[in-house]
């Protein structure tokens, strides 16, 4: 079988791999993106059906909170204007069973919105359908990969490639089964996600409520909310098995009365949560972006936003690079991303550890922290800017 030369192979067309293919436009590199799922599974869904809970039962029910900085990058990639999103004007942060709360708003931070909520499927589709000269193959899995050679399983049979650089953008990293062991920490938590509607309109407000079992987030989404309810795997399984009326009643009890009753719910999906990342790549001529590089807890919605910055930086370095798989190139990329990556990991992991217990002293300390945030506009702005722009924008 003939071996095909390509400069950059992107293994995985999730939102991060798809963004990377767009960001590499005009870089002078020959790019091939391989996505395991077939094009037909992406389907089409118009903005007109966006508000209906039935439509919210997408293939991947996850909603993604995009930061304002991600919006700016998606605009440059021509993947923003067709994406249905709901802006977040304010975020209310509180803890169950303790005092203190804070309200962060867009005006405090000098941005038109703190973020935007989109369906995972819509985001992926808008990135995969934006104009691009890279070859994008669907129903094509990377089944073998050893650094200098990669084998694709396509609907027409196998293709053997000799990429100068393979970018692992396959999320869980099935493409590189012999990769060096990742650092991995099981949070012992599962996120149950669903689209829900409340009696009161959301007015652009997102809610992040920390409970000892894990955070409960409600993100404004269409005419309702995207719910991310984190709890123990056992409790999540119980909640997933409830009929809709009982589920809505449990949610009302857990969240409280601030939005009135919960009156509608779409399909529920569960995601087990872990922190996973690698300190080094095990293969030459390869590097990882997005979830393949670091899988984070969804608290504070950092994962995709961080992955998009991975893609952007990689494309910047690849501009006219004579050999994008060289050791020097891979090292330069890892150096460029080290600070933002480490900060994203520490920030989310730290939040989970800080809030996931009910010890009285900690509850008191957290309450004082939230109160301080509420009273000190510069501290609020600092936290918000960190979430919007990542670590590199910090003074
Ligand atoms: C409940 C939940 C809520 C979240 N909320 C947010 C949020 O609000 N904001 C935020 O920024 N992030 C959020 N995240 C994180 C976000 O979903 C991920 O960071 C993001 O999906 C990573 O994208 P990715 O492209 O790296 O990987 P993935 O989304 O995992 O995509 C990987 C792609 O690779 C393909 N693939 C896999 N194996 C192969 C192969 N061998 N060959 C070819 N293709 C392959 C898959 O089909 C898939 O399309 C959340 C996560 C969860 C679980």
DSSP for 325-359, please give it: TSHHHHHHHHHHHHHHHHHHHHHHHHHHHHHS---
| pLDDT given for residue 108 in this prediction | 77
Which atom of ligand 1 has the smallest separation from the CA of 169?
A: 26
Residue 232 CA neighbour count, 13 Å, CB half: 6
- pTM of the shown model: 0.90
| pLDDT given for residue 31 in this prediction | 98
Residues paired with 104 in a beta bridge:
91
DSSP-derived secondary structure for 34-60? EESS-GGGG----GGGTT-HHHH--SS
Distance 296 CA to ligand 1 centre (A): 11
Q: Whose CA is nearest to atom 51 of ligand 1?
A: 298
> Per the structure, how many domains does the chain have?
1
| pLDDT given for residue 301 in this prediction | 83
Does residue 384 lie within any of the structural domains? no
The answer to whether the beta carbons of residues 224 and 202 sit under 8 Å apart is yes
| pLDDT given for residue 382 in this prediction | 64
Does residue 306 lie within any of the structural domains? yes
DSSP-derived secondary structure for 150-170? EEEEETTEEEEEEEEEEEE--
- Give the pair of three-digit tokens for residue 281: 């790549």
Nearest residue to 252 via CA among 92, 268, 223, 244: 244
| pLDDT given for residue 55 in this prediction | 39
β-pair type (86-88, 115-119): antiparallel
DSSP-derived secondary structure for 183-225? EEEEEEEEEEEEEEEESS--TTEEEEEEETTEEEEEEEETTEE
At a CB cut-off of 8 Å and minimum separation 6, what does 116 contact? Answer: 65, 66, 68, 71, 85, 86, 87, 88
| pLDDT given for residue 293 in this prediction | 93
Does residue 143 lie within any of the structural domains? yes
Does residue 379 lie within any of the structural domains? no
Distance 200 CA to ligand 1 centre (A): 32
Distance 175 CA to ligand 1 centre (A): 14
Domain of residue 59, residue span:
3-42+49-354
Q: Cα–Cα distance between 294 and 274 in angstroms, integer?
A: 10
Q: Whose CA is nearest to atom 31 of ligand 1?
A: 14
Tell me, what CATH number does 246's domain have?
Answer: 3.50.50.60
Distance 42 CA to ligand 1 centre (A): 14
| pLDDT given for residue 389 in this prediction | 67
Does residue 301 lie within any of the structural domains? yes
Q: Cα–Cα distance between 19 and 127 in angstroms, integer?
A: 6
Q: Cα–Cα distance between 118 and 128 in angstroms, integer?
A: 15
**pLDDT beneath 70, residues of the chain:** 42-59, 97-100, 173-181, 354-395
Does residue 367 lie within any of the structural domains? no
| pLDDT given for residue 46 in this prediction | 36
Does residue 369 lie within any of the structural domains? no
Does residue 364 lie within any of the structural domains? no
Which atom of ligand 1 has the smallest separation from the CA of 303?
A: 19
Residue 324 DSSP symbol: T
């Amino acid at each position: 079988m003939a071996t095909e030369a390509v400069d950059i192979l992107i293994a995985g067309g999730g939102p991060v791999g798809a963004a990377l293919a767009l960001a590499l436009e005009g870089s002078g590199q020959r790019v091939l993106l391989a996505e395991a799922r077939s094009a037909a599974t992406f389907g089409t869904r118009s903005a007109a059906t966006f508000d209906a809970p039935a439509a919210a039962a997408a293939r991947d029910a996850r909603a993604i909170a995009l930061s304002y900085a991600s919006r700016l990058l998606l605009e440059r990639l021509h993947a923003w204007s067709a994406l249905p999103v709901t802006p977040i004007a304010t975020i209310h942060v509180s803890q169950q069973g303790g005092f203190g709360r804070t309200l962060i708003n867009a005006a405090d931070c000098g941005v038109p919105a703190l973020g935007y909520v989109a369906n995972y499927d819509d985001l992926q589709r808008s990135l995969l359908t934006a104009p691009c000269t890279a070859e994008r193959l669907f129903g094509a899995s990377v089944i073998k990969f050893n650094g200098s050679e990669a084998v694709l399983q396509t609907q027409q049979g196998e293709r053997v490639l000799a990429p100068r650089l393979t970018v692992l953008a396959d999320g869980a990293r099935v493409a590189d089964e012999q990769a060096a062991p990742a650092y991995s920490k099981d949070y012992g938590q599962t996120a149950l996600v669903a689209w829900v509607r409340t009696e009161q309109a959301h007015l652009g407000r997102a809610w992040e409520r920390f409970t000892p079992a894990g955070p409960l987030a409600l993100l404004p989404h269409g005419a309702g909310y995207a719910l991310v309810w984190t709890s123990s795997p056992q409790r999540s399984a119980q909640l997933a098995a409830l009929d809709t009326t009982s589920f809505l009643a449990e949610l009302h009890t857990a969240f409280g009365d601030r939005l009135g009753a919960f009156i509608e719910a779409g399909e529920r999906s569960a995601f087990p949560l872990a922190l996973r990342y690698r300190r080094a790549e095990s293969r030459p001529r390869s590097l990882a972006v997005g979830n393949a590089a670091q899988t984070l807890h969804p608290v504070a919605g950092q994962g995709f936003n961080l992955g998009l910055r991975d893609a952007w930086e990689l494309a910047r370095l690849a501009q006219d690079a004579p050999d994008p798989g060289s050791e020097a190139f891979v090292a330069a990329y890892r150096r460029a991303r080290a600070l933002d990556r480490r900060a994203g990991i520490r920030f989310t992991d730290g939040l989970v550890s800080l809030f996931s217990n009910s010890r009285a002293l900690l509850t008191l300390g957290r309450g004082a922290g939230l109160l301080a945030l509420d009273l000190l506009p510069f501290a609020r702005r600092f936290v918000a800017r960190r979430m919007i722009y990542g670590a590199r924008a910090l003074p």
